[in-house]
Amino acid sequence: MSGSSFSSDMENDFPTLDAMELATYQWQMWADGIGELGQRKLKAATVLISRIGGVGGTVAYQLAAAGIGKLILVHAGEIKPSDLNRQLLMTHDRIGQSRVETAQARLLALNPRLILELHNENINATNAHALIMGADVVVDCAPLFEERFEMNRAIVRQCKPMVECAMYEYEGSLTTILPGVSPCLACLSPVAPTAWRREFPVFGAVAGTVACLAAMEVIKLITGVGEILSGTMLTMDLANMSFAKRKIHRNPNCSVCKGSGSG
Amino acid sequence: MKVNVHFDSQVRRIAGCRTVSLDVDQDTSLIEVIKRVGNSGTVGLRSTLMDEDDSVRPSILIFLNNELVAKEQQCVLHEGAELTLTTLISGG
């Protein structure tokens, strides 16, 4: 479906762009449906990204490049050597130091106007609701299903759109959850797969591919251009470059979103 | 009739292949095909797909011709059906 949380065309609802912003985003404002108003919508938006690893870090970088106004970054811990094959915001000289602080330096080097809110913690049952309260759009890039299910519960409660993106080995998947409209994560699977393990095979190029597609979902949600993956799961297998758009449906008995919205 | 069963994500890793082609009787149900795959003898595949009570695990996603099918849905397959068995993934 098309549509946006930011679909107001009242120009006064969105901050103006200064001369540097007009120069920086000139080429993307030429894209059909964006223009200066679309860029101002991006500037007005706050996006929360859960984990800034191989997927989330590249989502953050692409959104910073696109001129998103504010990012809320949620990721605990310090950089390890095994992060560096895919977590492009992290650098070798920062091993042992905070991931979110390292990301801050990298993102501000790209976009010094970006407003950042850093949380050196992961999403859990205690903090999910409050963290998501401050966001217009949420991007779920967590490696643990417990975190993904907490995010899912919180966005359904608050009726916030969430871009749900994940990868495994050479595969990726992506869908956009509009609570009450399209299936939530628990509609698809009420429990974590029995075989899932915290450590998984991953190439940075696979994580980055999924991340760039997820960033485009965010940009479309905010600007209202194009069609988002609501009620559709995009799956990809980069081992043989096969892509599929699969129809997904709400579960009328879903323990999380039953009774919300339509359908 | 012939149906193709594709495996994605960790189900593929356990199945050890991307796709199997099965010859099944006309009007074979989807659940019967999944049970047949699970009982193929591949180590770990049955317990990945099925519960102890012989029902499909809630975490298994079933796509028939690229459309999600509810596990409780009574569904008969037709010649050339493309079935995909997978799970959500969570790598980030």
**Is the predicted ipTM greater than 0.85, yes or no?**
yes
- Residue-level pLDDT at A8: 61
Residue A252 Cα distances to A131, A184, A193, A194, B82, angstroms: 28, 11, 21, 24, 25
Q: How do strand B2-7 and strand B60-64 relate by DSSP bridges?
A: unpaired
Q: Considering only CB atoms, which chain B residues are within 8 Å of A171? A: 8-9, 89
Asked if residue B71 is part of any domain, the answer here is yes
Compute the residue count for chain A: 263
Average pLDDT estimate for B16-42: 93
For B7, the domain range is: 2-87
Asked if residue B80 is part of any domain, the answer here is yes
Average pLDDT estimate for B43-51: 94
- Residue-level pLDDT at A23: 98
Residue listed under structure tokens 């479309």: A220
Asked if residue B59 is part of any domain, the answer here is yes
Residue A4 has pLDDT above 60, yes or no: no
Residue A7 has pLDDT above 80, yes or no: no
Average pLDDT estimate for B50-68: 95
CATH code where residue B77 lies: 3.10.20.30
The model's pTM: 0.95
Asked if residue B44 is part of any domain, the answer here is yes
Mean pLDDT of chain A: 95
Residue A20 has pLDDT above 60, yes or no: yes
Which one has a higher pLDDT value, A183 or A199?
A: A183
Shortest Cα distance from A34 to chain B (angstroms)? 29
- Which of B7, B9, B52 is most worth mutating to test chain A (most A CB atoms within 10 A of its CB)? B9
Asked if residue B67 is part of any domain, the answer here is yes
Catalogue all structural domains in chain A, each as residue range(s) with its CATH number: 45-247 (3.40.50.720)
Whether residues A144 and B90 touch (CB distance < 8 A) is answered with yes
- Cα A60 to the center of its chain, rounded Å: 8
Residue B27 Cα distances to A111, A199, B20, angstroms: 59, 41, 19
Model confidence at A9, in pLDDT bands (50, 70, 90)?
low
* CA-wise closest residue to A35 among A27, A43, A47: A27
Mean pLDDT of chain B: 94
Residue B19 near residue B2, CB atoms below 8 Å: no
Model confidence at A199, in pLDDT bands (50, 70, 90)?
confident
Q: With pLDDT > 90 as the criterion, what percentage of chain B qualifies?
A: 88
Which one has a higher pLDDT value, B21 or A13?
A: B21
Asked if residue B92 is part of any domain, the answer here is no
Residues 6-35 of B with CB under 8 A from A: 8-11, 13-14
- Residue-level pLDDT at A1: 39
Asked if residue B79 is part of any domain, the answer here is yes
**What is the C-alpha separation between A214 and A9, in angstroms, rounded?**
24
Whether residues A192 and B8 touch (CB distance < 8 A) is answered with no
Tens of pLDDT, residue by residue over A97-149, are 999 999 999 999 999 999 999 999 999 999 999 999 999 999 999 999 999 99
- Residue-level pLDDT at A262: 63
Residues 42-61 of B with CB under 8 A from A: 47-48, 57-61
Residue A13 has pLDDT above 50, yes or no: yes
Size of interface A-B (CB pairs under 8 A): 99
**What is the C-alpha separation between B21 and B17, in angstroms, rounded?**
11
- Which of B46, B65, B82, B88 is most worth mutating to test chain A (most A CB atoms within 10 A of its CB)? B88
Residue A244 Cα distances to A78, A179, A240, angstroms: 36, 23, 12
Tens of pLDDT, residue by residue over A75-101, are 999 999 999 999 999 999 999 999 999
Tens of pLDDT, residue by residue over A217-258, are 999 999 999 999 999 999 999 999 999 999 999 999 999 999
Domain count, chain B: 1
| Tokens (6 digits) for A67 | 């001129």
- Residue-level pLDDT at A78: 98
Residue A3 has pLDDT above 60, yes or no: no
Q: What's the angle, vertex CA A145, arms to CA A77 and CA A3, rounded to 5?
A: 100
